[in-house]
Amino acid sequence: MTGSADNIVVFEGVQKSYDGETLVVKDLNLDVDRGEFLTMLGPSGSGKTTVLMMLAGFEVPTHGQILLNGTPINNTPPHKRGIGMVFQNYALFPHMTVGENLAFPLEVRKMGKAEIEDRVNKALDMVRLGGFANRRPAQLSGGQQQRVAVARALVFEPELVLMDEPLGALDKNLREEMQYEIKHIHENLGVSMVYVTHDQSEALTMSNRVAVFEDGVIQQLAPPDVLYEQPDNAFVAGFIGENNKLYGKIVSEDDVNCKVELEGGGGTVAAMKVNASGVGTRTTLSMRPERVTINPEGNASENTCSAKVEELIYLGDHIRTRVSVSGNSDFIVKIPNSHGHVILQEGTEVTIGWQTDDCRALDAPNV
C-alpha cells in the first residue's frame, strides 16, 4: 500500500469505463491530505464527478484501487465507508422534520437518544439554524435546505465529507454566502473535504488545492494561487480565470525564456518557457488581463504591441477594454478605475505592454 499517515484518501492507478472501451477516468493517481479541502474542477464530462462517485462507493473502479485511511475500499458498500455526502438536490427526506433528518444517520448508527439530541443541536448551531429542528424541508428556503444538508453530512462526525455541486441550485449571492459558510466550517472542524464543481471562482475561493480535470485526466493539481499565476498548459490557463491568448512561433530560447514571432504581424516578444516544444514550433502565449497595460510609459513594459480599441465596458472598479492585437480581436485589458486612468475611445490605436514574467509560452494550439 502507498500513501502515508498524512493521506486520508489514495487513488492508485484508478480507471473507469462504462462501456468497456472508452475511459472516463484514465490512470488516476491522487492523494488527499488529511484535513485538506480538495476541489475537483472541470467542465462537464471531464471525469470529476465519476471520481467522487467511486470514492463514495456508488461506482466501482474498472482498474486500480482506492484506499481510505490505508485500507482498500473498492468492495466496501457506501454505508460502511463512514463518509458524509452532500448533493446538489439536498436529498433531504421531505416527510421528516429538520431534526429528524439530522437524527437519521445517528439512529442508523444506534446512538442513544440523549447523544442524538445533543449532536443534532450542535450541528444546527454550526450552520446557524438553531431553533429550526421542528420545521420540514418545504418550509425552508433553498439556502436553509442546503445548510441542513451540510449539517446532516457532518452530524455523525465523519473524517471525510464529499460534496457534489452542492451550491449549483442557489442564486449568485446565496451561492457566494454559502461558499464562505462551508469554508469556515471546514476551517473550524478540520474535517477532510472533497468538493466537485465546474465553477472556477468557487474552487479558487474555498480550496487548499484544486485538481483541474479534462478528458479524464488531472491537468494540474495545485493551490488556487499557483493555478492562476502559473498554469501548466493552455487548458488550465483558459479554464482558471480570464486569460488572453496569442499564437506564434518560437524563434530562439534559453533555459528560462523564449522569443516568439507572433502570428498576424505582431512582431517578436519574449515569454517564460513553460510548456513549449522548442525552436521552430508553434506556441500559445498566455497572460492575464490585469497584467497588461495600455500605452505604457518609458520602460514600464518589456514587451509591446500595437493594438486597436474595439470596445469599452464600464464595470465600476475597472474598465474592461477589448482590443484587437496580432489577429486576436478578443484581447482583454483591465484598466483600474482610479484617478489618472487612461481615457480611451473606441477605434483608437494604442500600444499594449506586459512584462516577460507575466507571459507564459504554453503548448501549441490545436488549430
The span from the CA of 337 to the CA of 76, in Å, is 56
Whether the Cβ atoms of residue 324 and residue 310 lie closer than 8 Å to each other: yes
pLDDT digits (tens, 9 = 90+) for 6-38: 899 999 999 999 998 999 999 999 999 999 999
Confidence of residue 340 (pLDDT cuts 50, 70, 90): low
Mean pLDDT of 171-192: 89
In 3D space, the residue among 289, 269, 295 whose CA is nearest the CA of residue 356 turns out to be 269
Whether the Cβ atoms of residue 33 and residue 204 lie closer than 8 Å to each other: no
Confidence of residue 43 (pLDDT cuts 50, 70, 90): very high
Answer CATH for 242-362 from 3.30.70.1230, 3.40.50.1820, 3.40.50.720, 2.40.50.140:
2.40.50.140
Mean pLDDT of 271-286: 94
Classify 3 in phi/psi space as left (phi over 0), alpha (psi -120 to 50) or beta.
left
Supply the mean pLDDT for the chain: 91
Per-residue confidence (pLDDT) for residue 265, from 0 to 100: 81
Residue 301, all three cell numbers: 513594459
The CATH number of the domain covering residues in 7-234: 3.40.50.300
Confidence of residue 1 (pLDDT cuts 50, 70, 90): very low
pLDDT digits (tens, 9 = 90+) for 223-267: 999 999 999 999 999 999 899 999 999 999 999 999 999 998 889
Q: Where are the domains of the chain?
A: 7-234, 242-362
Per-residue confidence (pLDDT) for residue 365, from 0 to 100: 84
Asked if the domains 7-234 and 242-362 are classified in one and the same CATH topology, the answer is: no
For residue 316, count CB atoms less than 10 angstroms from its CB and return exposed for 0-12, middle for 13-18, buried for 19 or more. exposed
The span from the CA of 355 to the CA of 253, in Å, is 17
pLDDT digits (tens, 9 = 90+) for 291-333: 999 988 877 789 999 999 999 998 888 889 999 999 899 999 9
Exposure letters 7-31 (e unless 16+ CB within 10 A, then b): bbbbbbebebeeeeeebbbbebebb
Confidence of residue 3 (pLDDT cuts 50, 70, 90): very low
**pLDDT of residue 275 exceeding 70:** yes
